[in-house]
């Protein structure tokens, strides 16, 4: 075979997509791998990736999705990818250079698109390789609107070619109000941004075309799920794996799910593998080479090679802190001991110099509440690069914890290692003098030298504390129970370290600032200050809930 450029792929509605096909040596039909991308099939990274797969005996088709690059039509993020992906897969399967077996492949946008395609049940789809895959709305965006940094992505995909995002003061853009015209503050106007940010999460008719996770029980396909603990859309990969293991329609498909979680960000291990920022996760972090892992999976499911993939554990998880890979068969791990650490203080948990504690004993009597002032004009910073390429990492939050609007709770120095693998959450009893506000929670590893590394975090918007279907304001003087989904981690706290928990009401610019008014999230321009409180006592036992793995032996 030879490479074929600018192929025309017809769709059912008459639109055509532009595609390049990279072929293996020889003329025999081959199994095919399909990638649809909004970032351009001419991305210089693509030929090198395709060449590796072609050398392994695959025909690789990379196409511009509808309305992007050289493809016809109008780009409407995610809304056409399911049907279009079905048509592309079936067109590829019918070509004389394909043997009829097709896999989909790709990450981030392309990961989400693959699941929308899988729901359409293309007959020739034999496997899925999806990495760094976003969830349904609004799992990754729990404030009920787009992340401020997402406007950078909308700038990238504005018009047909990939747009330049340098030379823009993104931090100033993220501070712009109202959110609805944040695109204009960045120097462009995006109909897609305004359509997406302008629809509330309760508008199920608008958001339904992007939702797939409640429908995975109809997907009867082996899938490889890959991402990192610091992926800014981390929950999608873990939720998809767990759903397919438990709900796929056949035992064969359930057994054929595979998960890889590394010490990576949104690049899912493709830009190295052992470091994020100044944190080096050790030599073993590179023991799993992502592309080779993918090719072994595809070799088994598309080419029928008996390479042992079907006999391996379903999950490979990198345990940070210890610096080693662990095998598992389910998520969460069945040996998990859900362990409560209760928030305690004398009303003095403000800053890292305060008296906030985490104890395994719940308060026996009511303790003074911890209070702080949340001012949207001076939000608690979330440490991150300004663009949306990677949002946050294992950063040191010691200086952030010097702020009076950050409550800090510390466990005792550990006399033995503490292993935490799984979803983390906080159950808080809260109050506010504002009709709406946010509550954030961050799990940190506190080292003896004072470094406080972020592990995972989350946020709950009070108006959505009972779900996105309804909005419920707060009343002054009333105490409410809220749960903060802090996402997941796999980390061993070393001897001498401490478990740390930060509580506040902002994490900017990762999440938009709650304006505390109870009014419009996207059109509001006049924020107010909120005075918030955390309760802890026998009737209101605010707590951190950790997935502890006891007695973990060395590999």
Instruction: Give residue-wise pLDDT tens across range 288-333.
Output: 999 999 999 999 999 999 999 999 999 999 999 999 999 999 999 9
Question: Does the pTM of the predicted model rise above 0.75?
Answer: yes
The pLDDT of residue 45 is: 85
pLDDT, tens digit, for every residue of 337-351? 999 999 999 999 999
The pLDDT of residue 272 is: 67
Q: Domain residues of the chain, as ranges?
A: 4-145+198-328, 146-197, 337-548
Element containing residue 540 per DSSP (H, E):
none
pLDDT, tens digit, for every residue of 186-241? 999 999 999 999 999 999 999 999 999 999 999 999 999 999 999 999 999 999 99
Separation CA 344–CA 543 (nearest Å): 9
Closest CA to 197 of 152, 136, 148, 159: 148
Asked if residue 258 has a cis previous peptide bond (ω within 30° of 0), the answer is: no
Residue 8 has pLDDT above 70, yes or no: yes
Q: What is the mean pLDDT of residues 180-185?
A: 98
CATH topology of domain 337-548: Jelly Rolls (2.60.120)
pLDDT, tens digit, for every residue of 438-474? 999 999 999 999 999 999 999 999 999 999 999 999 9
Residue 179 has pLDDT above 70, yes or no: yes
pLDDT, tens digit, for every residue of 243-283? 999 999 999 999 999 999 999 999 988 876 789 989 999 99
Query: How buried is residue 252: exposed, middle or buried, by Cβ count under 10 Å (0-12/13-18/19+)?
Result: exposed
Buried (b) or exposed (e) across 278-290, using 16+ Cβ within 10 A? ebebbebbeebeb
| Mean pLDDT score across all residues of the chain | 96
Q: What is the mean pLDDT of residues 121-142?
A: 97
The pLDDT of residue 114 is: 98
**CATH number of the 4-145+198-328 domain:** 3.40.50.1820
Structure tokens at 325: 């890979």
Region at 282 (left for phi over 0; alpha for psi -120 to 50; beta for the rest)? left
Separation CA 103–CA 221 (nearest Å): 10
Q: What is the mean pLDDT of residues 90-96?
A: 98
The pLDDT of residue 555 is: 60
The pLDDT of residue 554 is: 67
What's the pLDDT band for 48 if we cut at 50, 70, 90? confident
Q: Which residues are known catalytic residues?
A: 108, 231, 266
Task: Give the C-alpha distances (Å, rounded to integers) separating 159 from 71, 74, 76, 192, 285.
Answer: 12, 9, 11, 11, 39
The pLDDT of residue 482 is: 98
């Amino acid at each position: 075979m030879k490479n074929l450029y600018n192929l025309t792929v017809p769709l059912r509605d008459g639109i055509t997509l532009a595609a390049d096909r990279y072929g293996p040596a020889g003329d025999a039909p081959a199994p095919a791998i399909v990638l649809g991308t909004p970032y351009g099939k001419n991305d210089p990274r693509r030929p090198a990736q395709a060449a590796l797969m072609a050398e392994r005996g695959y025909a690789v088709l990379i196409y511009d999705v509808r309305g992007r690059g050289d493809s016809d039509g109008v780009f409407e993020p995610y809304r056409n990818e399911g049907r279009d992906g079905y048509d592309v897969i079936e067109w590829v399967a019918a070509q004389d250079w394909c043997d009829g077996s097709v896999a989909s492949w790709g990450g981030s946008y392309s990961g989400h698109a693959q699941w929308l395609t899988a729901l359409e049940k293309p007959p020739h789809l034999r496997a899925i390789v999806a990495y760094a895959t976003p969830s349904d709305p609004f799992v990754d965006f729990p404030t009920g609107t787009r992340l401020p940094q997402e406007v950078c992505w909308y700038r990238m995909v504005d018009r047909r070619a990939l747009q330049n995002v340098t030379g823009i003061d993104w931090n100033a853009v993220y501070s712009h109000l109202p959110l609805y015209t944040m695109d204009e503050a960045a120097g462009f106007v995006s109909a897609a941004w305004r359509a997406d940010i302008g629809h509330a999460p309760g508008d199920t008719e608008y958001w339904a075309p992007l939702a797939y996770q409640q429908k995975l029980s109809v997907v009867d396909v082996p899938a490889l799920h890959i991402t990192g603990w610091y992926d800014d859309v981390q929950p999608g990969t873990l939720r998809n794996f767990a759903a397919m293991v438990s709900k796929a329609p056949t035992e064969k498909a359930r057994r054929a799910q595979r998960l890889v979680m590394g010490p990576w960000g949104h690049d899912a291990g493709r830009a190295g593998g052992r470091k994020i920022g100044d944190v080096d996760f050790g030599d073993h972090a590179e023991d799993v080479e992502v592309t080779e892992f993918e090719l072994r999976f595809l070799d088994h499911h598309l080419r029928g090679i008996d390479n042992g993939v079907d006999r391996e554990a379903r999950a490979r998880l990198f345990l940070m802190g210890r610096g080693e890979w662990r095998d598992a068969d389910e998520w969460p791990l069945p040996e998990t001991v859900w362990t409560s650490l209760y928030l305690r203080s004398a009303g003095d948990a403000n800053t890292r110099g305060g008296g906030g504690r985490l104890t395994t004993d719940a308060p026996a009597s009511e303790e003074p509440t911890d209070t702080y002032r949340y001012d949207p004009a001076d939000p608690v910073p979330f440490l991150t690069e300004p663009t949306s390429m990677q949002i946050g990492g294992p950063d040191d939050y010691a200086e952030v914890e010097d702020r009076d609007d950050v409550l800090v709770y510390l466990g005792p120095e550990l006399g033995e290692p503490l292993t935490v693998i799984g979803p983390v959450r906080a159950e808080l009893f809260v109050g506010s003098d504002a009709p709406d506000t946010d509550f954030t929670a961050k799990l940190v590893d506190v080292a003896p030298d004072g470094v406080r590394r972020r592990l995972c975090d989350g946020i709950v918007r009070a108006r959505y504390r009972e779900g996105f279907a309804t909005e419920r304001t707060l009343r002054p003087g009333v105490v409410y129970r809220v749960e903060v989904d802090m996402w997941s981690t796999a980390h061993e706290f070393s001897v001498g370290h401490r478990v740390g928990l930060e509580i506040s009401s902002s994490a900017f610019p990762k999440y938009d600032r709650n304006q505390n008014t109870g009014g419009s999230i996207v059109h509001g321009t006049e924020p107010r200050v909120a005075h918030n409180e955390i309760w802890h006592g026998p009737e209101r036992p605010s707590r951190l809930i950790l997935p502890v793995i006891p007695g973990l032996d060395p590999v």
